[in-house]
Amino acid sequence: MPELPFELPPLPTIQQVIFVMIAILTVLGALVVVLARNLFHSALGLVTAFFGAAGVYVVAEAEFIGVSQVLVYVGAISTLITFAIMLTRGMMFGATSPRNRQSGTAAMITILIFLVLTALVGAIPWPQAGEPIVEGQAIIAGLGRSFVNEYVVPFQLLAMLLLVALAGAIVLARDRK
Amino acid sequence: MVPLTWYLILAAFVFSAGLFAALGRRNAIAVLMGIELMLNAANINLIAFWRYGPSPAQNLDGQIFALFVIAVAAAEVAVGLALVISVYRNRRTVNLDDLDLLKG
Amino acid sequence: MNWSDALIQFQYDLGAPQELSWLIEGITYFIGAFILANAALVLALLLIWITRKVVSRIQDRIGPNRVGRYGLFQTVADAVKLLSKEDITPSTADKVSYLIAPVLAVMGVLMALAVIPFGAGLVGADLNVGVLYLVALGSIGIMAALMAGWGSNNKYALLAGFRVVAQLLSYEIPMVLAMLAPVLLVGTMSMQGISQAQSLYLGPINLGLGWFIFLLPGAFLIYFISALAEAEQTPFDLLEAESELIAGFHIEYSGMKFAMFFLAQFLNSFFLGAIAVVLFLGGWQGPFAGQIPLLGPIYFLAKTFFVYVVIQWVKGTFPRVRVDQMMSFAWKVLVPLVLALILAQMIIMKLPTPMWLNYILVLVANLAVVVAVLNILGKYFQREQVRSKRAFEPKSLIGVMQPARPASGD
């Protein structure tokens, strides 16, 4: 067998293949959110991106976050957004462009930020592999314990915030007539 | 094991897409969607750094922050959409360029 | 021993090389998923037959009895008929969401199969977040209904889509909180763990009768009512109220696309019954299930079919509720009651009293909830009966039925 002038990269593992597929899904979803003219299609793209993010969490062995992501983002937030789109649907098919006057500048800035971030990420020597998580380690129990020990005050504040947001949203969106 | 850089590049892309939606879209709901995308990018980073941090099974701060972000995002989107609907009811538009009542 | 481990071992015994472990695992899980998904589709045919038989018996009819023995193959004939129908896509429909919605509806339901334990070691994936996973799947169904309602570009479909979201989101909250009761008791969200916890040992023999329904009847009742609403079954079938919305969010669908929504609905009620069985009715536990493993799946399926028949029984018996009644029942009755129940259970289980006393207190709290729910329902039905009777009576009679005025003092 002749020697190759360069070293072949190692074969991707199953996890890596799955990650790449999920990542492509997420990227496509995000692109649809940004570029679609029809706002409802944007919302569908958003749902796709949310699912992709949930898949990424599951690949990273954070199943609880992944399931919570589907529950909160897909179940609640996407539904709310879709509702708002339908309630304001007079705005959907305007003759105007979906982008505003500063969108050209915005596009340049965003692309620049993406390139800078990618270069930064590539330049830093990250650890090659995280420590393995043994099956059966009680991560969810640990999360629950943290919420009632170290993080009890932020947790209560969060509950307060959700309550205030709930009341505030009702007051704001109520028909005053 | 998926390399950490892959997570970070994916998060960077999602963040940039969200930033563009927040800066460049005309519709207020699209801007909100962009903000959601950015929050998700932050969450991907949090989870990735948690996974690659020291003793991920004991040190769960990354996951906890991600959960906080999810909950805060829920509150934010509820209030944001209530504002959008309120504005739509009063001005019959959710086009951010037309909402210039405060312009001198 | 888990089924997947057994199958992997079997492949190694056949002479599969150790280096290809990823391929062998992939083949194993593919076989499992293939069997489950196809079994579910066959199951749907049976479920539709059961529904038609039960409902027609309640309505004093015979039901399908021509195709095959007892009309068992009537559904197959109907499916063939649906396949031969014209596949219509409305010209103004939003193509993307219109076409994806039926697929998404079936997918969200079928994914529930992955975590349902049919027996000891017979579970697709024993996730440690199993219960939460099932709850999260519900949101896919909501998305599918919204997409169908919006994508059809039909005002009735859109209205039904709004109703779906209102109903499913409202009833998801009491359902999730009621599912939390057994989770709190066991301390795990794994479906297999919850099944195993419902054993009852009499000496060395597992009677398998430690079902949580005996301890948490209130949580079970609230779960069951919410599951009826989640499965879009009567009395909560407002989403396809023919007299109000023509047919619901799938009005513009025809042929096999309509059949997929139909399939999703029937499988959904079956799986919600299966979840009830796992969480409250002991799962695959039963007398001697520990000794004879084959009994596990039999017990499980028998219980699930029983719950399914009860759901159809309710469907044949109760009238449909109104939208405002549906919403106020969820938010003003079920949510406060289940919140109080969960709070009471959490406090009671932390009391320093002996364990048996704690269990009795939990049972008392649950019975109080059962009494409250049944009381409210009973009062409502009594009032409604009087009102609906009066609507059909001539005006002159209504006057007679009103209470006599107290005699003026003289």
Minimum-distance CB partner of C150 among A40, A67, A74: A40
Q: What is the separation of C-alpha C243 from the centre of its chain, rounded to a whole number of angstroms? A: 25
Answer whether residue A112 is part of any domain.
Answer: no
Residue A152 belongs to what domain range? 136-177
Angle of CA points C348, C350, C356, to nearest 5°: 65
pLDDT at C20 over 80: no
Final residue of a structural domain among A38, A70, A99: A99
ipTM, two decimals, is: 0.89
Q: pLDDT at position A52, please? A: 93
Q: pLDDT at position A95, please? A: 45
Contact C129 A75 (CB under 8 A): no
Angle between helices C155-186 and A78-87 (to 10 degrees): 160
Sign, Cα dihedral of C391, C396, C400, C402: positive
Q: pLDDT at position A152, please? A: 92
Contact B44 A147 (CB under 8 A): no
Distance CA C128, CA B18 (A): 32
Q: pLDDT at position A28, please? A: 93
Widest Cα–Cα separation across chain B: 56
Distances (CA, A) of C161 to B78, C33, C164, C223, C291: 20, 31, 5, 23, 49
A28 and A92 together in one domain: yes
A22 and A92 together in one domain: yes
Average pLDDT over residues B67-82: 91
A141 and A66 together in one domain: no
Answer whether residue A169 is part of any domain.
Answer: yes
Supply the mean pLDDT for chain C. Answer: 82
A20 and A90 together in one domain: yes
> Is C369 at the interface with chain A, CB within 8 A?
no
Q: Binning pLDDT at 50, 70 and 90, where does residue B43 land?
A: very high
> Is C252 at the interface with chain A, CB within 8 A?
no
A89 and A154 together in one domain: no
Report the CATH number that the domain containing residue A57 is assigned in CATH: 1.20.120.1200
Q: Report chain B residues whose CB lies below 8 A from the CB of A97.
A: 26
Answer whether residue A122 is part of any domain.
Answer: no
Q: Show which subunits contact A, needing at least 3 CB pairs below 8 angstroms.
A: B, C
Contact C165 A83 (CB under 8 A): yes
Angle between helices B4-24 and A39-59 (to 10 degrees): 160
Answer whether residue A56 is part of any domain.
Answer: yes
Answer whether residue A117 is part of any domain.
Answer: no
Q: Hey, what amino acid is at A135?
A: E
Q: How many CB atoms lie within 10 A of CB B20?
A: 27
C-alpha radius of gyration, chain A, whole number? 22
Read off the tokens for A135.
């099956």
Average pLDDT over residues C65-90: 82
Place of tokens 């000794």: C291
Q: Give contacts of C 93-112 with A, CB under 8 A.
A: 94, 96-97, 100
Q: pLDDT at position B103, please? A: 66
Average pLDDT over residues C256-276: 88
Answer whether residue A157 is part of any domain.
Answer: yes
Q: pLDDT at position C22, please? A: 74
Q: Which of C139, C186, C346 to mutate to test the interface with A (most CBs of A within 10 A)?
A: C139
Angle between helices C74-83 and C21-58 (to 10 degrees): 110
Question: Which residues face C205 on adjacent strands?
Answer: C202
C-alpha dihedral (C96, C97, C99, C101), degrees to nearest 10: 150
Read off the tokens for C136.
């999260």
Task: Calculate how close chain C gets to A12, using CA atoms only, in Å.
Answer: 12
Average pLDDT over residues C131-137: 88
Buried b (16+ CB within 10 A) or exposed e, C81-93: ebeeeeeeebeeb
Which stretches in chain A have pLDDT values below 50? 1, 95
Sign, Cα dihedral of B85, B88, B91, B97: positive
Contact B30 A81 (CB under 8 A): no
Q: Give contacts of A 41-60 with C, CB under 8 A.
A: 41, 44, 47
Contact A34 B29 (CB under 8 A): no
Per-residue pLDDT tens for C182-220? 988 888 888 888 888 888 777 777 777 788 888 888 899
Answer whether residue A140 is part of any domain.
Answer: yes
Contact B30 A15 (CB under 8 A): no
DSSP C252: T
Closest residue on chain A to C129 (Cα)? A64
CB A100 within 8 A of CB B20: no
Answer whether residue A21 is part of any domain.
Answer: yes
A140 and A95 together in one domain: no
Buried b (16+ CB within 10 A) or exposed e, A115-124: eebbeebeee
Q: What is the separation of C-alpha A2 from the centre of its chain, rounded to a whole number of angstroms? A: 46
Per-residue pLDDT tens for C312-353? 888 888 777 777 888 888 888 889 999 999 999 888 888 888
Distance CA C338, CA C78 (A): 41
Q: Report chain B residues whose CB lies below 8 A from the CB of A55.
A: none
Annotate chain A with DSSP letters as a single string: -PPPSSPPPPPPPHHHHHHHHHHHHHHHHHHHHHH-SSHHHHHHHHHHHHHHHHHHHHHTT-HHHHHHHIIIIIIIIHHHHHHHHHHTGGGTT-SS-SB-TTHHHHHHHHHHHHHHHHHHHHHS---SSPPPPPTT--HHHHHHHHHHTTTHHHHHHHHHHHHHHHHHHHHHHS---
> Domains in chain A: how many in total?
2
Per-residue pLDDT tens for B2-32? 888 889 999 999 999 999 988 888 888 888 9
Model pTM?
0.86
